[in-house]
Structure 1
Amino acid sequence: MASRDTAGLGVGRAVAFVSPALLLIGVFLVFPALWTIYIGITDYALTGPSSVAPSVVGLDNFVEALDDALFTNALWLTVVFVLGSAVIGQNLLGFALAWLLRGARPALRRVVEGLVLLSWILPSVVVAYLWIAVLDRDGGTLGALLGSPGTAWLVEYPMASLVIFNTWRGTAFSMMLYGSALAAVPPSQLETARTVGASGWQTVRDVVFPHIRGHVLTNTLLISLWTANDFTPFLLTAGGPNHESETLPIFIYQQAIASGRLGYAAAISVLLLLVNLVVAALYLLLLRRRS
């Protein structure tokens, strides 16, 4: 044991150093997760007798969720939302911006990066209000630009609007991550590819991508998990119309607050947690294969 203690702290001091972090993890992560699992196996409700003395119902909430057409719809819409706005939208747009800004003038690069970053750091309520103003049916900016006033974008095309909105809002993280990754690509290899006449796509595929594959996996994992658990779409559509934009976080909120079924909502939260764990495990598997 002493030979492994390279810092010379000893067991007592080492435990003392990590105990605050372990305490925070236990209070804010482990305990809420365990409490959610417990509530998920009860009929806990927002009001009524079950709010005072909930009964244990076992796996009934989970079975009901898997048979619930609204849950299946919310799960499918969440997959569409994640694939459209995160895996495809933010990944591609973030990389494209990082790639194009490599050779830009410093002033132009700072302006573009600042504008993109601004959309990411603004409060969700402010961003949602701005996009409602853009997509408004009567006086919306988009309708005026396209010459088609009267189009209710958030009603007629709710998921498409949310995908575009989340792509615009979340691209900053991907752009910054890919910008740092591209800076580590050896310039000599890029110059060699340019000398032999490789096209831009060939350069990205054969020279750039092998160097940033790990960054792509990391970025895809993070933005996928963030998007799958994002509640901001509620501020734009509230899950409507007729559940057409009701992703899982919104569905959980509706079941917990609007319907008052806290136990059922907690069970769905556990299912969403399991999906997140599966995605994270898949990422770790791909990363291990890469290494």
Structure 2
Amino acid sequence: MRAADRDAAGLGPVRAFGFLAPALVLIGVFLVFPALWTLYIGITDYQLTGPAAVQPQVVGAENFRTALADPLFGNSVRLTALYALCSAVIGQNVLGFALAWLLRPVRPGLRRAVEGLVLLAWVLPGPVVAYLWFAVLSRDGGTLGLLLDRPATAWLVEYPMASLVVFNIWRGTAFSLLLYTSALAAVPPSQVETARLLGANGWQTVRDAVFPHIRGHVLTNTLLISLWTANDFTPFLLTAGGPNHESEVLPVLIYRQALESGQLGYASAISLLLLVGNLLVALVYLRLLRRRA
């Protein structure tokens, strides 16, 4: 193929690179450099204060070995997986699709009102949402305790992970709702009607007539919300990882090791392990998408 055929816009290599340069600079400054810097910090004994803050020493893979042998790290990995699975993969996926499916025949005005209310939970800043839920779950006059006639129940202390799962489902369902609403609009209505005429119930219609058309959207949505949830720092605003590390997901563990304990090198090593985990999850989803294609 000739160069002129490859360059359909007629920009030439220099001008084309000029258009790409701003994006490449932003990626380099905000993604590549922080990742490389974190890698460097992760192989040192860098600390927030003390002699190691001025002259950190390279310790190689010691931080990684310490993390893999640390019970707190193992506990955080388990809690992060549970948090992402229950609140994102299951909760947000199922509720987002259910809302999108149920709102299809609803009048446009009512549908937009419901979508707006769901979106409101998503667009509000994290600290604001965390404060609202803290007021709902508080032991001192919390709304949930009053509604259930259990005013003395400390929900965030007695049921920390369950509280975080419900909170994240409530907050993050809007993205799944929007994505599935768009996906369902592309499903041929004739196939849905045919399935109903053949006597299929609701679940059979979704499984046989709808899901084959939106399978790629399901995988894409699951990938995005899983990664967002696994890297979410909002749980710190509700429980701070407590009580007794029972809700200490990986982002909270990294924060506490870095800023509370001052172990920046160790915290960076955990960050890199979290990054590797994210990449492995992304590769699994991408492989599934490629198999579908």
Scaled to the shorter chain, the TM-score interval is: over 0.9
2:152 counterpart (150, 153, 168):
150
1:128 counterpart (123, 127, 130):
130
1:119 and 2:113 aligned:
no
Residue number in structure 2 paired with 1:263? 265
Query: Separation in 2 of the partners of 1:111 and 1:83?
Result: 29
1:66 and 2:68 aligned:
yes
- Shift in Å, 1:110: 1.2
Matches within 5 A, 1:11-90: 11-90=13-92
Per-residue Cα deviation, 1:174-224 (whole angstroms, up to 9, x for no partner): 000000000000000111111111100000000000000000000000000
1:169 counterpart (168, 171, 174):
171
Residue number in structure 1 paired with 2:8? 6
Per-residue Cα deviation, 1:246-277 (whole angstroms, up to 9, x for no partner): 00000000000000000000000000000010
Residue number in structure 2 paired with 1:204? 206
Query: Separation in 2 of the partners of 1:173 and 1:53?
Result: 45
Alignment partner of 2:46: what SS? coil
Amino acid in the other structure paired with 1:69:
P
Query: Separation in 1 of the partners of 2:55 and 2:216?
Result: 49
Alignment partner of 2:66: what SS? helix
- Shift in Å, 1:2: 2.9
Structure 2 gap segments, 5+ residues each: none
Residue number in structure 1 paired with 2:276? 274
TM-score with structure 1 length normalisation?
Answer: 0.99
Query: Separation in 1 of the partners of 2:93 and 2:21?
Result: 37
Residue number in structure 1 paired with 2:181? 179
Query: Separation in 1 of the partners of 2:289 and 2:112?
Result: 32
Residue number in structure 2 paired with 1:240? 242
Alignment partner of 1:14: what SS? helix
Residue number in structure 2 paired with 1:188? 190
Query: Separation in 2 of the partners of 1:3 and 1:137?
Result: 69
6-15 vs 72-81, which deviates more? 6-15
The CA RMSD over aligned residues, in Å, is: 0.6
Query: Separation in 2 of the partners of 1:165 and 1:65?
Result: 29
Query: Separation in 1 of the partners of 2:132 and 2:145?
Result: 14
Query: Separation in 1 of the partners of 2:136 and 2:204?
Result: 38
Residue number in structure 2 paired with 1:250? 252
Per-residue Cα deviation, 1:24-63 (whole angstroms, up to 9, x for no partner): 1000000000000000000000000000000000000000
Amino acid in the other structure paired with 2:123:
I
Query: Separation in 1 of the partners of 2:86 and 2:200?
Result: 30
1:224 and 2:222 aligned:
no
Query: Separation in 2 of the partners of 1:198 and 1:138?
Result: 50
Amino acid in the other structure paired with 1:44:
Y
Identity %: 75
Query: Separation in 2 of the partners of 1:24 and 1:106?
Result: 40
Query: Separation in 1 of the partners of 2:69 and 2:40?
Result: 21
Residue number in structure 2 paired with 1:106? 108
Structure 1 gap segments, 5+ residues each: none
Query: Separation in 2 of the partners of 1:138 and 1:43?
Result: 43
Query: Separation in 1 of the partners of 2:54 and 2:60?
Result: 18
TM-score with structure 2 length normalisation?
Answer: 0.98
Query: Separation in 2 of the partners of 1:113 and 1:34?
Result: 41
Alignment partner of 1:8: what SS? coil
